[in-house]
Amino acid sequence: MIDVPPRESKSGFAFASVPTMRYAANSAWQLLSVLAFNLMRGFQLATTAAPRGATRTRRSRFRFETIHTLRYL
């Protein structure tokens, strides 16, 4: 599973919201949000993600767009 960045997951994938007062429904909501994030990254990796040079401080080897940018495009 791909790690979801905290800032993008809260704003772009609604991780900061609690849609119901049921534990099972909230767990399903979070799993669907992570699935959507993984699908978005997987599609980018397969199609448009540009490779970047590896450094000691850079975590990702590819340049990914945020969900806000992809929605705008």
Question: What is the tens place of the pLDDT at every residue in 17-54?
Answer: 777 888 898 888 888 888 888 888 888 888 888 887 77
Would the pTM count as exceeding 0.75? no
Q: Do the domain assignments include residue 44? A: yes
Hey, is 63 helix, strand or coil?
Answer: strand
CA distance readout (Å), 73 to 2, 11, 17, 47, 70: 23, 18, 25, 15, 5
In a domain, residue 1? The reply is no
pLDDT at 1: 45
Q: Which domain holds residue 51?
A: 6-72
pLDDT band at 58 (very low <50, low <70, confident <90, very high): low
- Report which secondary-structure segment, H or E, holds 50: strand 50-51
Number of domains in the chain: 1
